[in-house]
A and B are shown apart, each in its own frame.
Chain A
């Protein structure tokens, strides 16, 4: 905590009562400018320091005690709140400004000097939360979001839900006015709620409404710990307007220590049993989803997979396994396996089964009937009832509660112990088989990328491979998901470092892409990495202000659009419905789905936000030079944007 204003050991009220004891006459003398009388007062009362005077007013002697009490506040509660936030090593706070948190806003800027945390100006609360979401997945730690507890939280809700589904830690700080008689008429009532956090409670791990600064300090420690304990997720701490704005009148509150909770490890006897099953299996497969939090997670999974010579299927939650490793295999391996080891799966049922999108939704088992399933994860440790992202129930044959990344070393060790010589001897054959399969997958992907290579609009394969040529020798990281571009990054780029691919929105809520990319790019900026965002056009139309934030805060980010002129997924849904009803979509599929007439000029939107931009580009030959020009801009520490009109997928 800064000490300005505290050197005398007096708070504002104590100073005022001293001045009052010296007599009203002294004040009036001072007003008259009598220096000797002022000196006399100084002998009786403890006078404020220069710093205190500066905080109160340039010339406080021009005010009566009552006026000072009415106009000024010393040692506001929100200064202490900043100290608490700073103690948690929270580097940034994303915000769209609002009056219900004006107290802490001022404290961050003036008291904290806008450093650690630094405020990042956002144009929408959905953007602010999604930026924090993207940041957390790269930095491995949360930042905070400041928002109105009412209108701000309602704007933020979609992005919070995405973060919840995606297990991303972030701390929402919500302004609110709890004392009704203190509220000014009008907006302060509209921006107050009895239970402001309730609009988010279904999809945050925890929330609290502190009633004192000490309460706030302890709640923040608890909030941080809950948010960062797997399964990670968002938390909410409310900030009462009065608590922020009033001065600290009594004992200075203290900041407790924050001790992180170590992630839970699976039960040793269950791990030993899992190891025996894995070693005994003829064709085990490992399926990982939200498993690796950092490079250790990837390295540990490589070790286990190599000991077993078992293929690994990487689902979309995080990059759990290098796609260049020969044991990286397709999901088709699930159907051939006699044992499936699921690591941090959110949807075990959906790995083992499927339901086709037909009139009658008949479930089909994808896995072999005799396949056994082992599940290791923390999913059951924290679920809520209302929103159904926890997916369908599945009775795994062996279900182990524990953080998979933390549990992997003991599982690998148990596998080594259980491995017989005879079993070890089979590894050479298995390795050869998987190497051949991996090489074939890569050859098939390269072959598939040839098709429509010279097409206009640009093929998604060409989009990715033109990018790859120019980034592959740099320290790069994708900050977007490639699922809707035929997964070309995962098929043809070399994804080896955990930070190179951070998955998607989690809750499939559109509007995540642009702001999460900016937040992730911010985290990469600290490491000097090139952040690459393949931006979908429909997503960009939600919160394009994210590009203004990137320009304003000098966040280098290469954005290349996959602009297919519409909400393409919905084209396909509409088509399916029309065919199912034997009506057809001859020429009418655009209705409700297309972004045309007029076509949004995404490059001009980006440049309007202060980003360098180029495009729209439809000819593939124009793409490489545009990317080169954009990289020059990014290398100068600025965001750059290239709009590319593409094939649908």
Chain B
């Protein structure tokens, strides 16, 4: 299956609307998130997205309310990043990674970080 960028965007948008976009962080120490973090590390997701999904060489994925189907679409049929087919990363493992990414806590607000708050001027 090949998808153009535009098609991807349409599918993702439609999926988001259909599934909603509520972010529900998983509890600390939850097995699924622990396993998800291990997979996130071993499959090298952190190389481009950072250990906490903050982004770097690639886009931030933390605190973005993708439903799983949209997340999977990005991973299977990406625009820039390497594609991860099911034989490399099963749906089950992908879901665990997804759970981990969703569990990453929100960062502190800007006004709680003096080094950044000062930069608002």
Contacts and interface: CB of A to CB of B under 8 A. Distances in A.
B52 A452 contact: yes
Interface in B49-90: 50-57, 60, 62-63, 80, 82-85, 87-89
Contact of A452 (B44, B47, B107, B119): B107
A74 to B, nearest CB: 63
A298 to B, nearest CB: 22
Contacts of B46: 648
Nearest to A577: B82
B47 A455 contact: no
Interface residues of A, number: 43
Given A486-B56, A582-B87, A649-B50, A451 B44 contact: no
Give the residue among B56, B60, B118 with the most A Cβ atoms within 10 A: B56
B100 to A, nearest CB: 14
B43 interface: yes
Given A469-B115, A585-B43, A457 B51 contact: yes
B116 interface: yes
A647 B120 contact: no
B107 A579 contact: no
Contacts of A582: 85, 87-88
B108 interface: yes
Contacts of B120: 443, 446
A486 B57 CA distance: 7
Contacts of A466: 115
Contacts of B54: 448, 451-452, 455, 459, 461, 647
A478 to B, nearest CB: 17
Nearest to B89: A584
A583 B54 CA distance: 26
Given A450-B113, A453-B107, A575 B47 contact: yes
Q: Is the interface of B mostly helix, strand, loop or mixed?
A: loop
B113 A647 contact: no
Contacts of A579: 82-84, 88
Interface in A539-584: 568, 571-572, 575-576, 578-580, 582-584
A571 B115 contact: no
Nearest to A467: B115
Contacts of B89: 584
Contacts of A448: 54-55, 60
B82 A575 contact: yes
B109 interface: yes
B63 A648 contact: no
Interface residues of B, number: 35
Contacts of A460: 56
Interface string A448-491: 11111111010111100110110000000000000000100000
Given A568-B47, A575-B44, A648-B46, A455 B118 contact: no
A527 interface: no
Interface in B85-121: 85, 87-89, 107-110, 113, 115-116, 118-120
B44 A649 contact: no
A587 B118 CA distance: 41
A136 interface: no
Contact of A453 (B51, B53, B80, B108): B108
B7 interface: no
Contacts of A451: 50, 52-55, 60, 62-63, 107
B22 to A, nearest CB: 20
A589 interface: yes
B47 A572 contact: yes
Nearest to B48: A572
B90 to A, nearest CB: 11
A465 B116 contact: yes
A184 to B, nearest CB: 54
Contact of A584 (B43, B47, B55, B56): B43
Given A572-B48, A582-B87, A648 B43 contact: no
A571 B47 contact: yes
A412 B65 CA distance: 48
A421 B43 CA distance: 60
Given A582-B88, A585-B43, A648 B113 contact: no
Contacts of A492: 119
B87 to A, nearest CB: 6
A586 B116 CA distance: 36
Contacts of B108: 450, 453-454
B48 to A, nearest CB: 6
A447 interface: yes
Give the residue among A492, A583, A586 with the most B Cβ atoms within 10 A: A586
Contacts of A356: 80
B115 A647 contact: no
Interface of A: 356-357, 442-443, 446-455, 457, 459-462, 465-466, 468-469, 486, 492, 568, 571-572, 575-576, 578-580, 582-587, 589, 647-649
Interface of B: 42-44, 46-48, 50-57, 60, 62-63, 80, 82-85, 87-89, 107-110, 113, 115-116, 118-120
Given A446-B116, A457-B51, A586-B43, 5 more contacts: A447-B110, A451-B52, A453-B116, A579-B88, A647-B52
23 contacts: A443-B120, A450-B109, A450-B116, A451-B53, A452-B50, A452-B54, A455-B51, A459-B52, A461-B54, A468-B119, A486-B55, A486-B56, A568-B57, A572-B47, A572-B57, A575-B82, A579-B83, A579-B88, A580-B82, A580-B83, A584-B89, A586-B43, A649-B57
